[in-house]
Structure 1
Amino acid sequence: MKRTVVAVYTGQGLADPLKKVFNELLPDCRLVNIIDDGLIHDVVQAGEVTSQVSRRLLNYYQNAAELGADVILNTCSSVGEAVDRARPFVSVPIVKIDEQMAREAVSRHFRIGVVATLPTTLDPTMALLRRQAEAIGKSIELADGLAKGAYEALVGGKPEEHDRLISETAAGIASSVDAIVLAQGSMARMEAALKEKTGKPVYASPYSGVLEVKRLLESLSVSR
Structure 2
Amino acid sequence: MLALLHTSPVHVPVFDALRDTGHPGLGLRHFVDEELLERARREGPEAVRDDVRQALRHAVSAGGRAVLCTCSTIGAVAEAEAAAAGVPVLRVDRPMASAAVAAGPRVTVLAALESTLGPTADLVEEEARRAGRPVSVRTALVDGAWDHFTAGATEAYAQRIAAAADALTGTDVIILAQASMAPAQHLTTTTTPVLSSPRPGLAAGAAAVAAAARGG
Common fold: TM-score over 0.5: yes
Secondary structure, counterpart of 1:76 in structure 2: coil
Q: Give matches, 1:81-92, under 5 Å.
A: 81-92=76-87
What is the number of equivalent residue pairs in this alignment? 216
* Shift, 1:117, TM fit: 0.5
Q: Distance in 1 between matches of 2:3 and 2:78?
A: 14
Tell me which residue corresponds to 1:192.
186
Tell me, in whole angstroms, the C-alpha distance in 2 between the residues paired with 1:223 and 1:87.
Answer: 17
Partners of 2:12 and 2:4 lie apart in 1 by 9
Equivalent residue letter for 1:172: A
Question: Structure 1, residues 177-208: CA drift from partner, whole Å, max 9, x if none?
Answer: 011100011111111212xx111111110000
* Counterpart residue identity of residue 193, structure 1: L
Distance 1:23 1:115 in 2: 28
SS in 2 for 1:7: strand
**Deviation of residue 220 (structure 1)?**
2.8
Give the Cα separation in 2 of the matches to 1:32 and 1:7.
Answer: 6
Superposition deviation, residue 157 in structure 1? 4.2
Matches within 5 A, 1:175-214: 175-194=169-188, 197-214=189-206
Verify: 1:33 aligned to 2:25, yes or no. Answer: no
* Distance verdict in 2 for CA 1:218–1:80, change over 3 Å: same
C-alpha deviation, 1:109, in angstroms: 1.5
Q: Which residue of 1 aligns with 2:109?
A: 114
Q: Which residue of 1 aligns with 2:209?
A: 217
Tell me which of 114, 119, 122 is aligned to 1:124. Answer: 119
Does structure 1 conserve the Cα–Cα contact (< 8 Å) formed by 2:111 and 2:178? yes
CA distance in 2, matches of 1:162, 1:206: 17
Q: Is the 8 A contact 1:110 1:139 kept in 2?
A: yes
Scaled by the length of structure 2, what TM-score is found? Answer: 0.93
More displaced stretch, 23-32 vs 182-191? 23-32
Deviation of 1:77 (Å)? 0.6
Aligned counterparts of 1:223 and 1:59: Cα–Cα separation in 2: 25
Q: Secondary structure at the match of 1:78?
A: coil
Percent of residue pairs bearing the same amino acid type:
24
Whole-angstrom CA distance in 1 between matches of 2:133 and 2:12: 34
Contact 1:76–1:97, Cα closer than 8 Å, also in 2: yes
Instruction: With the length of structure 1 as denominator, give the TM-score of the two structures.
Output: 0.90
Aligned to 2:91: 96
